[in-house]
Amino acid sequence: MADQAASAPGVAAAQVDGAAPASNLQENSYDVEVQLSDLQKDRENPLGSAATFQELGLSVPPPNEVLEGLTALKFLKPSKVQEKALPLMLADPPRNMIAQSQSGTGKTAAFVTTVLSRVDYSQASTPQALLLAPSRELARQIQGVITTIGQFIPNLGVSAAIPGSIARGGSVDKSIVVGTPGTVMDLIRRRQFDTSALRVLVIDEADNMLDQQGLGDQCARVKGMLPKNIQILLFSATFPEKVLKYATSFAPSANIIKLKVQELTVKGISQMYMDCPGEADKYEILCKLYGLMNIGSSIIFVKTRESATQIQQSMVRDGHKVSVLHGAYEGSERDALLDDFRTGKSKVLITTNVLARGIDVSTVSMVINYDIPMKGAGEATHDTETYLHRIGRTGRFGRVGVSITFISDKKSFTALHAIAKDLQIDLVALSPDDWDETEKQVQKVIKSSRAQANFVPSATSGGQE
């Protein structure tokens, strides 16, 4: 370094500033191409992709508008599931599709893009595509995505078929319909919804929709009232084996995109648990968590409505703007609460399992399982799927997210242990004793899982191995 400094003044500067050569001549010869393995890694990432949207066959009929809409939404390149599924879904003649991909990897955009490309906009008042979701929030969210991606399409119309949205005498007169199965079924029965020209049926959160007693029946009935040659697209982040079997008969001879168990969790989400001395300490510990890292918005999942209200009170005292959303609220009230959260008017959302699935608020950087998810009679067994969907509310589209699950007794500890075993993951333990230490640990975990995000294997057709 010393002799270099003597040789030329420019070198001295470079050395002062860092270990780099100074003259531009050297710089050129010194430039190293970004390693192929890095680019490759990008490709293996569920969000990385070699292709562009143009290459995925989107440049046929209406698509320029769709493409422009995707760009406006800042979708720069297709994600893995989009790259794989779009060409299959857009191919003619249309074929059914069952697609699984991790939470927050662009499933909604994939099927919305397909729907938008299948509709004939010259017949704007004839329903041509039907999308079903398990909750009104999710249906409205999908409706929002359709209008955003389709913002440049003239004559685009989307109807929401959710409770209270279509008057008794009215009829469904838009080309795309998004709804919950119950309402859609009623509308068809009352002849307010003409299904004769429908060509695409999308079922989001399909495992949940087909599996649950009520929803499953409704979906099957709705399907029975639709044209026989309709293209069926089933999407979810989870597809338990037995549901998948049913799904293949629901959507016969479908293309299938499936994940391996180890691929289920998004590696960008740091999963931790907090060892609370007792149930009563949880409140105070909860508030402390917000100082450990920079948090955009957060969602807290609780078991009962009562504890939701209690937590809300203590958090408001601590300066947080909090929304509480659970089944006790009426439809429009729920819409307003969720909108507040979406737009950043409130940054903490306390909710029950109502919102475990599908809701996409991109700023959510922390999910807290205040109560661990359980299922079955007497809440006896751990619920891995719900856990997965809950933590999937963060780490959307490659962002970094944190999930912290509270345990306070033997039962919750055992349940969490079982979930970790199901997913083949290790959870990081946090302790509320020394916050300086805990902070250090959290920062370390976030850093390392950011690095890990690189190594997520891809979604592969049919699943490998």
Partner 1 sequence: MTGSSPVTRRSRQWSSPSRPRISDFLAENRHTELSYQDALAAAQAEHGRVRDAAIRVFKDHELKEECRRLQEQEAAIRQQQRREEERIRNEERVRAEEERLRALKSKIVPKLPPEPAPAPTPTPAPAPPASSTSVSQLNGAGPLNSGTTIISASQQGSIAAGSKPSSLSISQQPPSNAPAVSINGTKVAEPAPTQPFQQGQHVTPTKPPPFGTPAATSSNFLSKALQPSAPTTTSQTPQPPADKYVIIHQNLKKLRASLVEQAKSLPLLKARMGDMRRELRKTLGQMVTEKGGNRKQVGAIQALLQESLNGSIPSQLVDPSQYVVDQRQPMEGALHNGAQLPSLFLYLLNIFAKSIINQFINECGAQPKAADPLGVIAAQIFSNKAYLWRGKSLVDILMAKYRVACPVLFGYRGNESTEQGRIRLGWKRDGTGWAPEQQHIEKMKGLAVGYAAIALRDFSKSPNTNPWPPSKYWASLARIVNTPPAEISNTQCVVLRGMIEIYEERFIQFYGSAAIAALHSALVEFPNKALTKTPGTAGLPVLAHILKRNIGLDL
Beta bridge partners of 257: 99, 461
- Say whether residue 189 binds partner 1 (CB under 8 A): no
Token pair for residue 67?
């493409």
The encoded tokens of residue 81 equal 């599931």
* CB of 236 vs partner 1, minimal distance in Å: 22
Report, in Å, the least distance between residue 116 CB and partner 1: 17
Q: Is 451 in the site for partner 1 (CB under 8 A)?
A: yes
Half-sphere exposure of 194 (CA within 13 A, CB side): 10
**HSE (CB half, 13 Å, CA atoms) of 152?**
15
Q: Which of residues 281-340 bind partner 1 (CB under 8 A)?
A: 288, 290-297, 319-321
Tell me how many degrees the CA angle 182-220-213 measures, rounded to the nearest 5: 70
Give residues 431-450 in contact with partner 1 (rule: CB under 8 A): 435-436, 439, 447-448, 450
Is residue 343 a contact point for partner 1 (CB under 8 A)? yes
Window 229 to 268, contacts with partner 1 (CB under 8 A): none
Count of residues that interact with partner 1, criterion CB under 8 A: 74
Among 127-135, 305-313, 341-349, 409-417, which window interacts with partner 1 (CB under 8 A)?
341-349
H or E, element range at 300 = strand 297-301
Shorter beta-carbon distance to partner 1: residue 41 or 221: 41
Query: Does the footprint of partner 1 cover residue 461 (CB under 8 A)?
Result: no
| Residue number, 260 or 440, with CB nearest to partner 1 | 440
Q: Which of residues 31-90 bind partner 1 (CB under 8 A)?
A: 31-35, 37-38, 41-42, 45, 47-48, 52, 68, 71-72, 74, 76-77
DSSP type of residue 293? S
Q: Please state whether beta strands 255-258 and 460-461 pair in parallel, antiparallel, or not at all (unpaired).
A: antiparallel
CB of 227 to partner 1, least distance (A): 36
Min dist CB 4 to partner 1, Å, is 12
Report the side by side order of strands in the sheet with 322-325.
322-325, 348-351, 297-301, 364-369, 401-407, 269-275, 428-430
Using rule CB under 8 A, residue 148 touches partner 1: no
Would you give the distance in Å from CA 336 to the centre of its chain? 21
Kindly report the backbone phi and psi dihedral angles of residue 175, in degrees, each rounded to the nearest multiple of 5, phi listed first: -75, -25
Is the Cβ–Cβ distance between 127 and 201 less than 8 Å? no
* Residue 123 makes contact with partner 1 by CB under 8 A: no
User: Of 33 and 92, which has the nearer Cβ to partner 1?
Assistant: 33
- The yes or no reply on residue 399 touching partner 1 (CB under 8 A) is yes
CA distance 295 to 122: 46
220 lies in the site for partner 1, by CB under 8 A = no
